């Protein structure tokens, strides 16, 4: 970036100086040439008005006396038929008729004429100015025009030295300017952007980096916490299993206890397997950006199937499940949606009271396809309603463990909702019960058939 800014400034400075110099030279040249021409014109006008007072013979005498030895200017007097009467630099006998020369023709017609051309007599670029004298003759003054160009070229060496000095100064200034521009950028601490004094134009970019840093730090923290929690959660059932197994191996367990120890080992192993299943599911969802194998599925059909699978467990605690709904189509992954419905109804069973009630609805609402699961269970304190979706967060740890919870069910539900652009909402009252609402985007009739 430093290089780009520095080079841009240098190129700009060099071009600006070169263009300015060229234009100054051009203006100088034009001005000087115009000045030269003006001087010749006024000289001719003065001479012509002097000659008007005399006869042609007298005028020729005057010209002989005044210009025969002049070298800086060529003076010619031409008769109205084009024949040359006087020329201070050439022998008039050798000169052809001048009536065809444009400046002479113009002077005869309009009173004056001018032209710049290469003189056949002298082989130089000459400015010719002709003016008509009252007796019909034409007085022409000619002077080489290379003076302006010569003088302009004369200043070139000085101009070159000045240009080199200006370029050197421009290079130095561009280096300083680049350093000044880059200083605030170089001083940014990418890990601590909040207080940085920086250009307004760069602020959105830096804010974006700051947000990304924050998100990265947050994800890293969650990942570390999750790893610590997983280790802890795995350790507890394994310690229990290992303890009972050791007692049996060492012969410390009485024969009557062996079956009880065995069933405890079995229960803890099941919990362990459930935990591992949930962890695998979560990490699979973590890696996934959106839904794989999306299809149009009937939410009510999945719900009815899930209720059927959980009915037996519910009945064991005297819990009744009531269902209402109608075919409701959503776009998603059937397995994931089945898991979501299962986790919600399973929680409604686990955290319900003995002989409680569960009311499930799956159907179209004005804002989308809705699934709601309402129970008459222990409820969730208001301050916990947001946190229950965190990994391993349980309102009552011992209760959750007693009912075989892993603390991951609702995290999985939240993840599945996110994949399906679904919204989730909790309404709960401690001691009375909980309702969880999930609203999926509706699928239009056109999509259902496709
Ligand atoms: P768990 O495996 O412990 O059930 P979840 O992630 O499914 O984990 O739920 C997190 C916590 O939210 C549970 O431990 C429980 O305290 C609370 N919870 C979830 N659903 C309900 C419910 N229907 N009624 C009361 N509390 C609930």
Domain CATH code at residue 97: 3.30.450.20
Same domain, 429 and 301: yes
Q: How far is the CA of 376 from the centre of ligand 1 (A)?
A: 14
Are both 274 and 295 inside the same structural domain?
no
Does 161 map to a domain? no
The predicted structure's pLDDT at residue 196 = 67
With respect to residue 171, please indicate whether it lies within any of the assigned structural domains: no
Confidence of residue 449 (pLDDT cuts 50, 70, 90): very low
Regarding whether 442 and 320 lie in a shared domain, the answer is yes
**Which tens digit of pLDDT belongs to each residue from 386-409?**
999 999 999 998 888 888 889 999
**Residues 317 and 360 occupy one common structural domain:** yes
Q: What is the pLDDT of residue 146?
A: 67
Mutate to test the pocket of ligand 1, among 319, 394, 414, 433 (most ligand atoms within 8 A of CB): 394
User: Phi-psi category of 379—alpha, beta or left, where left has phi over 0 and alpha has psi -120 to 50?
Assistant: left
244-253, 340-349, 373-382: least confident range: 244-253
* Cα–ligand 1 centroid distance for 385 (angstroms): 10
Q: What is the secondary structure of 336-360 as a DSSP string?
A: HHHHHHHHHHHHHHHTSPTT-EEEE
Among 125-134, 239-248, 296-305, the range scoring the smallest mean pLDDT is: 125-134
Q: What radius of gyration do the chain's Cα atoms show?
A: 52
Nearest residue (CA) to ligand 1, atom 12: 388
The tens digit of pLDDT for each residue in 364-373 reads 999 999 999 9
276 and 299 housed in the same domain:
no
Which residues have any ligand 1 atom within 6 Å of their CB?
A: 343, 347-348, 350-351, 375, 377-380, 388, 393-396, 400, 405-411, 434
- Examine residue 408 and state whether it is found in any structural domain, yes or no: yes
In a domain, residue 214? The reply is: yes
**Quick one: 378 and 415 in the same domain?**
yes
Where residue 334 falls among pLDDT bands split at 50, 70, 90?
A: very high
Most confident region among 174-178, 339-343, 393-397 by mean pLDDT: 339-343
Q: Which of 133, 153, 173 is the last residue of a domain?
A: 153
Percentage of residues in the chain having pLDDT higher than 90: 48
Residues 149 and 269 in one domain: no
pLDDT for the residue 401: 81
| Ligand 1 pocket test, candidate residues 380, 391, 413, 434, most atoms within 8 A of CB | 380
* 149 and 239 housed in the same domain: no
Residue to mutate (ligand 1; options 349, 405, 413, 415; most atoms within 8 A of CB): 405
CA of 364 to the centre of ligand 1 (A): 26
Of 127, 153, 179, the last residue of a domain is 153
305 and 372 inside one domain: yes
Q: Is the pLDDT of residue 450 over 50?
A: no
168 in any annotated domain: no
Same domain? For 72 and 91 the reply is: yes
- Nearest atom within ligand 1 for CA of residue 378: 25
Contacts of residue 443, Cβ cutoff 8 Å, sequence gap at least 6? 296, 329, 330, 331, 369
Domain containing 217 — which CATH number? Answer: 1.10.287.130
Query: Are both 93 and 215 inside the same structural domain?
Result: no
Count of structural domains, the chain: 3
Containing domain of residue 279, as a range? 189-287
CA of 236 to the centre of ligand 1 (A): 19
Q: What is the pLDDT of residue 357?
A: 97
400 in any annotated domain: yes
Cβ 237 vs Cβ 273: under 8 Å? no
Please give the number of the atom of ligand 1 that sits closest to the Cα of 375: 23
Question: What pLDDT score was predicted for residue 222?
Answer: 84
Q: Is residue 15 part of a domain?
A: yes
With tokens 């003088």, the residue in question is 151
Residue 176 domain-assigned (yes or no): no
For residues 319 and 376, what is the distance between their CA atoms, to the nearest angstrom?
Answer: 10
% of the chain beyond a pLDDT of 70:
96
Q: Which of 351, 386, 402, 425 gets mutated to test ligand 1 (max ligand atoms within 8 A of its CB)?
A: 351
Q: Are residues 297 and 249 in the same domain?
A: no
- Name the pLDDT band for 337 (thresholds 50, 70, 90): very high
Domain stop point among 153, 176, 202: 153
Supply the CATH number for residue 416's domain: 3.30.565.10
Q: What is the pLDDT of residue 412?
A: 95
Tell how far the Cα of 63 is from the centroid of ligand 1, in angstroms: 124
């Amino acid at each position: 970036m430093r290089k780009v800014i520095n080079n841009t400034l240098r190129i700009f400075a060099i071009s600006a100086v070169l263009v300015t110099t060229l234009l100054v030279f051009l203006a100088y040249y034009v001005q000087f040439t115009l000045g030269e021409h003006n001087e010749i014109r006024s000289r001719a006008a003065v001479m012509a008005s002097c000659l008007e007072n005399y006869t042609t013979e007298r005028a020729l005498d005057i010209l002989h006396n005044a210009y025969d030895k002049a070298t800086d200017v060529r003076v010619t007097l031409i008769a109205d038929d084009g024949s040359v009467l006087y020329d201070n630099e050439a022998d008039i006998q050798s000169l052809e008729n001048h009536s065809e020369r444009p400046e002479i023709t113009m002077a005869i017609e309009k009173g004056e004429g001018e032209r710049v051309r290469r003189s056949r007599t002298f082989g130089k670029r000459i400015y010719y100015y002709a003016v008509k004298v009252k007796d019909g003759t034409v007085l022409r003054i000619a002077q080489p025009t290379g003076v302006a160009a010569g003088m302009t070229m004369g200043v070139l060496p000085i101009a070159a030295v000045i240009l080199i000095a200006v370029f050197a100064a421009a290079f130095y200034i561009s280096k300083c300017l680049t350093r000044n521009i880059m200083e605030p950028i170089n001083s940014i601490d990418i890990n601590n952007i909040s207080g940085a004094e920086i250009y307004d134009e760069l602020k959105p970019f830096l804010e974006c980096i700051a947000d990304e840093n924050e998100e990265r730090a947050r994800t890293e923290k969650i990942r570390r916490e999750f790893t610590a929690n997983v280790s802890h959660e795995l350790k507890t059932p394994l310690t229990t299993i290992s303890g009972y197994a050791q007692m049996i191996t060492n012969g410390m367990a009485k024969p009557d206890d062996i079956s009880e120890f065995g069933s405890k080992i079995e229960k803890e192993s099941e919990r362990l397997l459930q935990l591992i299943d949930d962890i695998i599911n979560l990490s699979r969802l973590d890696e996934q950006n959106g839904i794989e194998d999306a299809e149009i599925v009937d939410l009510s059909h999945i719900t009815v199937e899930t209720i059927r699978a959980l009915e037996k467990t519910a009945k064991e605690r005297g819990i009744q499940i009531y269902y209402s709904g109608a075919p409701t189509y959503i776009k998603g992954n059937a397995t994931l949606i089945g898991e979501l419905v299962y986790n919600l109804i399973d929680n409604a069973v686990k955290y319900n009271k003995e002989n409680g009630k569960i009311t499930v609805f799956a159907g179209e609402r004005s804002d989308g396809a809705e699934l709601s699961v309402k129970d008459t269970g222990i409820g969730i304190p208001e301050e916990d309603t947001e946190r229950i979706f965190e990994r391993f967060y349980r309102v009552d740890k011992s209760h959750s463990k007693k009912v075989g919870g892993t603390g991951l069910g609702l995290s999985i539900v939240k993840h599945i909702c996110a994949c399906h652009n679904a919204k989730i909402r909790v309404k709960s009252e401690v001691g009375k019960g909980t309702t969880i609402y999930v609203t999926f985007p509706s699928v239009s009739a056109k999509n259902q058939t496709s």
